[in-house]
């Protein structure tokens, strides 16, 4: 990652992240889900098949989730994985309702969303919380259909959560987790919450954080900091996917973050970070994963037999990333389809 160092962004504090610094005040120009409900309805049968099995399932929120740095069956890992299924269910149900599946699914979503807002207390660990993008999607889809008091409660909850992340970043140090994939997940969550709330101040902060992360994490040739640390394409995907999701959220406010370029030429777009990954995703190049990782836990997971932590990179692991990025760059669609013939429901029914 020639020329990059943690010091490039170590001086960016909370005040800088909240500075508008001449950025235009963007307003929403496209809906959160650009796919119109009628075309989306064509994809309903498959999503309803899985939802029907959960129709009578009550929400099961936890006040805390924790999987980061642990193995299956350790601590609350298993309980956390099980609870996270609620988040995917509520988003799928929200998508189904939007596509015309009926108000029973709106009632289902409301129950799940409000149960989680009442129970879960943010930890500000972005690895444990990255899956809450599904909850943010859910609010963005159904927010205007919530009763005013419940809508205000969710908005207050998300605003406090986003602000807490921004404050934590504002007090960051020079440890790798403030510029590696952890920061990408923080940026994703802050950006999605800012856009879902249509909050200009939060969005301005998110934009600054996104640009700082591009500058800190991606080299001018497109290689990511996470590849240098982990020697694994698994973590390149894990690092870039949340940044693509942030760019998709920013698109709804009329801004193209995907192609934004740092002063040294670093960028998320096809010409840089995505271009660096594409030869491996297409199978043109191969890579043995984690051989020279500097993170001890990678070896522990490999020894425990967890899939993907040893052996050659499986290009199918980049399928979701390619589908999401193809929403910003349609030229990626053929490769996305080859890696994952059926896109994720959020892409089929929502377009992001």
Q: What is the CATH number of the domain that holds 331?
A: 1.50.10.100
Within-domain flag for 78: yes
Each residue of 233-244: b (16+ CB within 10 Å) or e?
bbbbbbbbbbbb
Within-domain flag for 57: yes
Q: What is the pLDDT of residue 171?
A: 85
Q: What is the pLDDT of residue 29?
A: 54
What burial class does residue 302 get, using C-beta atoms within 10 Å of its C-beta: 0-12 exposed, 13-18 middle, 19+ buried?
middle
Digit-by-digit pLDDT tens for the chain (352 residues) are: 333 333 333 333 343 334 434 333 334 456 899 888 888 888 899 899 889 999 999 999 999 999 999 999 999 999 999 999 999 999 999 999 999 999 999 999 999 999 999 999 999 999 999 999 999 999 999 999 999 999 999 999 999 999 999 999 988 766 779 999 999 999 999 999 999 999 999 999 999 999 999 999 999 999 999 999 999 999 999 999 999 999 999 999 999 999 999 999 999 997 799 999 999 999 999 999 999 999 999 999 999 999 999 999 999 999 999 999 999 999 999 999 999 999 999 999 998 7
Can you spell out the DSSP letters for 94-110?
HHHHHTT--HHHHHHHH
Give the single-character DSSP code of 67: -
Q: What is the pLDDT of residue 26?
A: 37
Domain total in the chain: 1
Q: How many other C-beta atoms lie within 10 A of the C-beta of residue 281?
A: 25
Within-domain flag for 1: no
Q: What is the pLDDT of residue 39?
A: 85
Within-domain flag for 12: yes
Can you spell out the DSSP letters for 251-273?
HTTT---TT-B-TTS-BSSTTTH
Q: What is the pLDDT of residue 174?
A: 65
Domain that holds residue 26: 6-350
Q: Is the pTM of this model over 0.85?
A: yes
Alpha-carbon gap, residue 325 to 258, rounded angstroms: 9
Alpha-carbon gap, residue 225 to 121, rounded angstroms: 30
Give the single-character DSSP code of 303: H
Q: What is the pLDDT of residue 173?
A: 64
């Amino acid at each position: 990652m020639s020329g990059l160092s943690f010091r490039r962004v170590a001086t960016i504090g909370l005040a800088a992240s909240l500075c508008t610094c001449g950025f235009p005040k963007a307003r929403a120009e496209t809906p959160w889900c650009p796919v119109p409900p009628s075309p989306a309805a064509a994809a309903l049968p498959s999503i309803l098949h899985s939802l029907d099995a959960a129709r009578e399932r009550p929400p099961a929120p936890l006040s805390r989730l924790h999987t980061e740095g642990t193995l299956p069956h350790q601590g609350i890992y298993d309980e956390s994985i099980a609870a996270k299924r609620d988040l995917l269910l509520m988003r799928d149900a929200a998508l189904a309702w939007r596509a015309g599946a009926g108000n029973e699914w709106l009632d289902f979503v409301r129950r799940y969303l409000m149960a989680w807002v009442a129970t879960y207390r943010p930890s500000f660990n972005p690895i444990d919380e990255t899956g809450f993008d599904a909850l943010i999607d859910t609010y963005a889809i159904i927010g205007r259909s919530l009763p005013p008091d419940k809508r205000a409660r969710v908005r207050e909850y998300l605003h406090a959560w986003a602000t807490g992340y921004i404050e934590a970043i504002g007090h960051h140090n020079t440890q790798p987790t403030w510029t590696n994939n952890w920061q990408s997940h923080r940026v994703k969550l802050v950006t999605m919450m800012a856009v879902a709330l249509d909050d200009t101040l939060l969005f301005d902060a998110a934009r600054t954080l996104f640009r700082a992360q591009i500058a800190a994490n991606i080299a001018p040739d497109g290689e990511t900091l996470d590849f240098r640390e982990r020697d694994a394409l698994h973590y390149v995907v894990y690092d870039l996917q949340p940044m693509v999701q942030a760019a998709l959220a920013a698109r709804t406010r009329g801004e193209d973050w995907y192609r934004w370029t740092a002063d040294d030429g670093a960028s998320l777009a096809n010409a840089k970070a995505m271009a660096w990954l594409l030869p491996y995703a297409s199978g043109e190049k191969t890579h043995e994963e984690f051989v020279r990782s500097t993170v001890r836990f990678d070896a522990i997971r490999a020894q425990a037999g967890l899939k993907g932590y040893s052996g050659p990179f499986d290009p199918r692991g980049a399928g979701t990333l390619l589908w999401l990025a193809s929403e910003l760059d349609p030229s990626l669609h053929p490769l996305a389809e080859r890696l994952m013939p059926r896109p994720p429901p959020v892409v089929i029914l929502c377009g992001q």
